[in-house]
Amino acid sequence: MNEPSVSRSEKLRGIFGRALARLRHGLPFGSGVLAAVLAFIIYNLVFIQPNQLSIDDVNNSVSSAMASATPPAAFSANVYQIIQPSLVLIEVEEEHQNAKTDHGLGSGVVVDSFGNILTSLHVVKGATNIKVTFADGFESAAQIVVEQPENDIAVIQALDTPLVLAPAVLGNPNSMRVGDEAFVVGNPFGLYSSMSAGVISGFDRVFKMPNSKTAIHGMIQVDAAINPGNSGGPLLNRDGYVIGIVTGIVNPTEENFFVGIGFAVPIMTAVSGMGSPPY
């Protein structure tokens, strides 16, 4: 029995349908406009001037559109854009009786519209002067308003703030799993607004503060690079939400650089000292 013949119009309709399917599955969401324009062109060529369109025409058009499609940005790029306006550089001076002055630096993150800044207590503890620099370059003296020695967390407030504040969005570390992406943004070695990326390595860790008997429980372990100057900065998930405050590193040698094990205080623990309820 002879198979029913298929008209050229029906063949072209099939080509049109397959082309649209390739567009829907191949192009990122942000290229929807391009897909719509190309579909409109194909539709007009197929149904208005069917004799001028071939299978090669369709394949070449789709291939050209796919080749020019812009891939979506990496999660890390999006995270950086989200958190950077909330990042704070912290510089401290500690004056001693022998007229010697020690200098230090760290990181912080704006967490509410009042300008409260979360950081690590060891960054600002004992400081005679604290200066903060916001993402727009605005500088101000600051003071400690809350201390949590048991968690190495401090809340500081700038004596003056920019006209526009950009508080970070707080996330829930309890929704995270080992292996999930983790991002650290801070000021390692004074390199302002630097980013590192890795994964969550573990939960509920115990971290002993250097030169101290204080042991902090319930820490988040990460392998994103952490170095001096990162302390007090935010640990973020792939959505750019703050899930922790970076505290310190473990290094079995006497050197003060990262070997792959860093710790952060879960954000719900950090904000509890501000009167914010855990979640």
Q: Residue ranges per domain, the chain?
A: 8-68, 84-158, 173-272
Six token digits for residue 88: 């704070």
pLDDT value for 245: 98
Query: What was the pLDDT predicted at 243?
Result: 98
pLDDT at 12 > cutoff 60:
no
Q: What gap in Å lies between CA 279 and CA 277, rounded to an integer?
A: 6
173-272: CATH topology: Thrombin, subunit H (2.40.10)
The reply to whether 9 belongs to the active site is no
Note the pLDDT of residue 156: 97
Q: How confident is the model at residue 24 (pLDDT cuts 50, 70, 90)?
A: low
Q: pLDDT value at position 278?
A: 46
pLDDT at 30 over 50: no
Catalytic residue status for 122: yes
Q: Is the dihedral of CA 45, 46, 50, 52 positive or negative?
A: positive
Q: What is the pLDDT of residue 49?
A: 53
Residue 274: which pLDDT band, with cuts at 50, 70 and 90?
confident
Which residue is catalytic, options 31, 107, 120, 152?
152
DSSP 23: H
122, 194, 196, 201: the catalytic one is 122
pLDDT for res 29: 46
Residue 102 annotated to the active site: no
Domains 84-158 and 173-272 agree in fold: yes
Is the pLDDT reported for residue 135 higher than 60? Answer: yes
Among 132, 120, 124, which residue's Cα sits nearest to residue 89?
132
Question: Helices in the chain by DSSP H: which ranges?
Answer: 8-26, 32-47, 55-68, 75-83, 121-124, 267-272
Report which residue type is found at 42.
I
CB atoms within 10 A of CB 1: 3
With a pLDDT cut of 70, the percent of the chain lying above it is: 76
Q: Look-up: residue for tokens 């855990």?
A: 278
Lowest mean pLDDT segment, chosen from 152-166, 213-227, 240-254: 240-254
Across the range 49-54, mean pLDDT stands at 60
* Cβ neighbours, 10 Å, residue 266: 23
How many residues in total does the chain contain?
Answer: 279
CATH architecture of 84-158: Beta Barrel (2.40)
Its pTM surpasses 0.85: no
Is the separation of the CB atoms in 169 and 50 below 8 Å?
no
Asked if the model's pLDDT at residue 162 lies above 80, the reply is yes
How far apart are alpha carbons 252 and 263 in whole angstroms? 15
**71 pLDDT higher than 80:** no
Give the integer Cα–Cα distance in Å for 185 and 234: 6
Question: pLDDT at position 61, please?
Answer: 72
Name the average pLDDT for the chain: 84
Which residues lie below 8 Å from residue 276, measured CB to CB, with a gap of 6+? none
Confidence of residue 89 (pLDDT cuts 50, 70, 90): very high
Cβ atoms within 10 Å, residue 196: 20
